[in-house]
Chain A
Amino acid sequence: MTQLNAADLSTRELNSRLRDLVARDDAEIHVENPGARHNLAVAMLKSGKIRFRGSVGYYCGGLADGISIEIDGSAGWGLAESMLGGTFRVHGNAGNGAAAAIRGGTVVIEGDAAARLGVSMKGGTVIVAGDCGYMAGFMGQKGVLVVCGNAGDAFADSLYATECYVGGEIKSLGTDAVASEVTDEEAAALESLLAANLAPELRALKPQARRFRKVVAGRKLWNFDKREWKIWREAL
């Protein structure tokens, strides 16, 4: 395990060091004093583990492919944005647009997520143990979004094919979002997904998988139809 002190390094120096270290097989790096700085561990393109011993700022781990990142504190906007593959775990909360536009990989937020969680996600899996803010899942294209707690306004607005699950209350559904009960098969898959990604003490705080609700696209916005003008007027 290698230890780096972010307080002694500029962002450029730190990211260069991280990239060099990650290029080696089975690298494990602990970064002390990240100081909520922006753009840490951007574009890490190999497997390896980076642990931030504190909070990080915007775009931590953005444009990643293959890296495993753990954040002991909270994360700013755009956590893991546009990731192709890899795993992220945030022990605290995440700011706006966490997991924005990801195309693969897994993002686990053990606290709460702010607005626009998983916006434009194109694949991958996003799990939030707590609550999420408004417009989570907006324009989700593929992948799975799970919120164990409560979801804010306009949840899952204008979805394409992302599958969303909410364990708590949904303040309001977004345009064209359709909620339903989960099937036994879906509940089992959800149980197994949460078991694999959340520690038992976190899972114990959350509703049983059978009580989750599934939200998908009603597909009324997929192609224009003048008979649906009311929904389009709201959407556009």
Chain B
Amino acid sequence: MAHLQQSAIFTPGVVESIQHKAQTGLYEMRGFGTLRQRRWATFDDLTFLPCSLTRIPLEGYREKCSTKTLLGTRYAKKPIELDIPVMITGMSWGALSYNAKVALAKGAAAAGSSNTTGDGGMLQAERENSRTLIYEVLPSRYGINIHHMRMADAIELTIGQGAKPGTGGLLLGSKVSNRIAEQRDLPIGVDQRSPARHPDMLGPDDMIIKVEELREATDWQVPIFIKIGASRVFDDVKLAAKAGADVIVVDGMEGGTGASPSIFQEHTGIPTLGAVCEARLALEDCGLYGEVQLIIAGGIRDGVDAAKAIALGADAVYIGTAALIGLNCNKPLYLEDYEALGTAPYACHHCHTGRCPVGITTQDPELMQRLDIDAGAERIQNLLHAMTLEIQMLARSCGKSDVHHLEPEDMAALTMEASAICGIPLAGTRKVFGR
């Protein structure tokens, strides 16, 4: 029935988007991350090649397989030592509720991992419940406090994030409560738009001096991370390394956000798979691979993604959205509140509204109580443990006694795109496409 056929160009989603703009005069804003349906090469396009005759596997549940992760060995007097290579990324108190921030800190600490502050500064309870706390220095400098910085175990100078590289953070007025406004020195209820550039530096040459300032401020004790949103990764990673970073964080386009124009989430940056490969090439190209550690972020869902990122060159991974899902994001609870937002479990990306049905991305005291800190922390601990077990299982099957020994050679590509991007032969061939 041709008369009922929908356009492949003007799909129902496109029609809805055009009519939303016509109605409101405003581009679409939302939280979560990319909702693109069209596929691009991801970690799913790789498969591991466990041992058979050419390699000897380790006993899957018995033999030791180290997960210790050392970050910041280049210049810092006190590098970070984590029990596992899965870390919690920076998410602000403001985007997240107090309960969510504290639960993440507590859960990460129990699992021997780290958590990161975010735009808006450090919560005292976050520090008290963290084992290893990374203090973010963002372009907005909201809540910047040297005393807090000096309490941290590492400093992360954030240039951009994967969900929206090249632009600043957003926190809509519904979430700028009295406490958040006070913490950020803002008027209550404003739509807070963070700057895209740091206020006191512009390019990579300034950044060299900025990194030295942060080192001086912390007496060269703790590692300095530089975080970039994945766009021109090869060049950016080299510049970050030149600036003196101990650790470089590359955040791919599948990364999440509390609020952003949706066009940034869908149409900017490069996918995490490509980002990790470019980052490794860049560090190898300047002879710093292994000396500067690499953390990969952006849509990491499980131990499989993490293991593949490590095999491609990462020392550790950040999780953000996955951690929030572990806290019950998108879980079918309080269905009437999902409905009131015009959404449903498994399809909710309404973090920007501040009306999170499960108490994670809200500043509403009543909603926030739906997230119990201790129960949330336990789920985070469980999630981090389970992900680590998954990484170990894959590493042992590939004959590795340390998860960091995973390497590209342990995998085959399932698509020509992944083969070309990762420099790994396509399964069933001996060929790396594009070379």
Query: Which A residues are CB-close (under 8 A) to B184?
Result: 122, 141
Chain B residues whose CB sits within 8 angstroms of the CB of A101 once the complex forms: 141, 144, 199-200
Residues of B within 8 A of A229 (CB): 25
Binds B, one of A105-113, A181-189, A195-203, A218-226: A218-226
A222: chain B residues within 8 A (beta carbon)? 173, 187, 190-191
Which residues of A, 11-64, contact B by the 8 Å Cβ criterion? 11-12, 15-16, 38-39, 42-43, 45, 57-59, 62-64
Interface membership of B216, Cβ < 8 A:
yes
Per the bound structure, the CA–CA distance linking A122 and B187 in Å amounts to 11
The answer to whether A38 and B212 have CB atoms under 8 Å apart is yes
Say whether A43 contacts B216, CB under 8 Å.
yes
Q: Which residue of B lies closest to A95 (CB)?
A: B200
B27 CB → nearest A CB, Å: 9
Contacts of A142 in B (CB 8 A): 185
Min Cβ gap B65→A in Å is 40
Q: Does chain A have a CB within 8 A of B201?
A: yes
Interface residue from A63, A65, A141 paired with B186 (Cβ < 8 Å): A141
Contacts of B195 in A (CB 8 A): 120, 139
CB–CB A122/B24 < 8 A: no
Known A-B contacts A12-B220, A224-B191; the reply to A42 vs B213 at CB < 8 A is: yes
Specify which chain B residues have a CB less than 8 angstroms from the CB of A45 in the assembled complex: 146-147
Query: CB distance A59 to B210 under 8 Å?
Result: yes
Q: Is the CB of B190 within 8 A of A39?
A: no
> Within the complex, what minimum Cβ distance (angstroms) separates A53 from chain B?
20
Q: A43-B217, A77-B206, A223-B191 are in contact. Are A65 and B200 (CB under 8 A)?
A: no
| Bound Cα distance A57, B208 (Å) | 13
How many Å lie between the Cα of A183 and that of B146 in the bound state? 37
Chain A interface helix/strand/loop/mixed: loop
Residues of chain A within 8 A of B142, CB atoms compared: 122
A116 sits at the interface (CB 8 A): yes
Of A11, A223, A226, the contact of B212 (CB 8 Å cutoff):
A11
Q: Please give the distance in Å from B150's CB to the nearest CB on chain A.
A: 7
**Cβ–Cβ < 8 Å partners of B210 in chain A:** 58-59
Asked whether B149 is an interface residue with its Cβ less than 8 Å from the other chain, the reply is yes
Chain B residue nearest to A139 (CB atoms) is B195
Chain A 93-125: CB-based contact to B (< 8 A → 1; otherwise 0): 000110011010000000000001001101100
- Are A81 and B200 in contact, CB atoms less than 8 angstroms apart? yes
Bound-complex Cα distance A133 to B25 (A): 34
Q: Once bound together, how far apart are the Cα atoms of A11 and B213, in whole Å?
A: 10
Q: What is the CA–CA distance of A63 and B145 in the complex, to the nearest angstrom? A: 8
Question: B146 contacts which chain A residues (CB < 8 A)?
Answer: 43, 45, 63-65, 82, 84
- Chain B residue numbers with a CB within 8 Å of A16 are 219
Contact call A120/B140, Cβ cutoff below 8 A: yes
Residues of A within 8 A of B200 (CB): 58-59, 62, 77-78, 81, 96-97, 100-101, 119
Q: Contacts of B53 on A, CB cut-off 8 Å?
A: none
User: Does A134 sit within 8 A of B, measured CB to CB?
Assistant: no
CA distance A70 to B146 in the complex (A): 21
Q: Residue on B with the closest CB to A15?
A: B216
How many whole Å from B115's CB to the nearest CB in chain A?
A: 22
Least Cβ–Cβ distance between A155 and chain B, in angstroms: 16
Question: Can you list, as one digit per residue, whether each of B168-200 has a CB less than 8 Å from chain A (1) or not (0)?
Answer: 000001000000000011110111000100011
Question: Which residues does chain A contribute within 8 Å of B186, judged by CB atoms?
Answer: 141, 160-161
CB-contact partner of B206 in A42, A58, A141, under 8 A? A58
Please tell me which one of the listed residues B25, B141, B189 contacts residue A122 in the complex, with CB atoms under 8 A apart: B141
B352 CB to closest chain A CB (Å) equals: 12
Check: B26 CB closer than 8 A to any chain A CB. yes
Interface check B335, CB cutoff 8 A: no
CB-CB contacts below 8 Å: B131-165 with A = 140-142, 144-147, 149-150
A84 to B145, alpha carbons, bound, how many Å?
Answer: 7
Tell me, in angstroms, the Cα distance from A229 to B26 when the chains sit together.
9
B150-A43 in contact (CB<8A): yes
Known: A58-B209, A223-B191. A103 touches B185 (CB 8 A): yes
Closest to B210 in A: A59
From residue B36, how far is it (CB to closest CB) to chain A in Å? 23
Give me 8 A-to-B residue pairs in the complex whose CB atoms sit less than 8 angstroms apart, sorted by A's number: A15-B216, A45-B146, A59-B210, A59-B213, A78-B213, A84-B146, A141-B184, A226-B24
Closest 10 CB pairs of A and B: A226-B25, A78-B200, A122-B185, A101-B141, A100-B199, A43-B217, A97-B200, A63-B146, A119-B199, A42-B216
